[in-house]
Homo-oligomer: A and B are copies of this chain.
């Protein structure tokens, strides 16, 4: 079944952490909508300057319109977590138990949304202490699945990460 997936993204995302899951989602014909700070704006990846056009702003986006949420890593989550609409958007997916896929620095948005307490999660080595302080149970594995939440550490985990996301959507 086709799912409608919100991709929450801003400048300085880690290119591969966007491109590889997106290719996997598209292959299975899932619908992808890019949610960001400014509708119609273009954001760039930090390595290859991959251009991504934002379809819907965080202010306009309604979680009810989506089946799942995907947050690529890099420094994109750092930029998004200062935006109250982005944080609210993320919180709603977690509160309603809809599938949420995060990799690398993606959990930073879950921390600001205060939804990590007691949840098993992994992420970038740099945010391990932040995850623990947020009440998350950090696990050093390529893919961690806890209910609706799938997380991975870095680009090296992309293949199993994408596989786990597709499996949850199927």
Q: Which A positions have Cβ atoms within 8 angstroms of B?
A: 75, 78-79, 81-82, 108, 111-112, 114, 125-126, 128-130, 133-135
Interface of A is mostly: helix
- 19 of the cross-chain contacts (CB-CB < 8 Å) are A75-B78, A78-B78, A78-B126, A79-B126, A81-B126, A81-B129, A82-B125, A108-B126, A108-B130, A111-B129, A111-B130, A112-B128, A114-B129, A129-B134, A130-B130, A130-B133, A130-B134, A133-B133, A133-B134
Q: Count this chain's copies in the assembly.
A: 2
User: Which B residues are in CB contact (< 8 Å) with A79?
Assistant: 126
> What separation, in Å, do the CA atoms of A140 and B135 have in the docked complex?
24
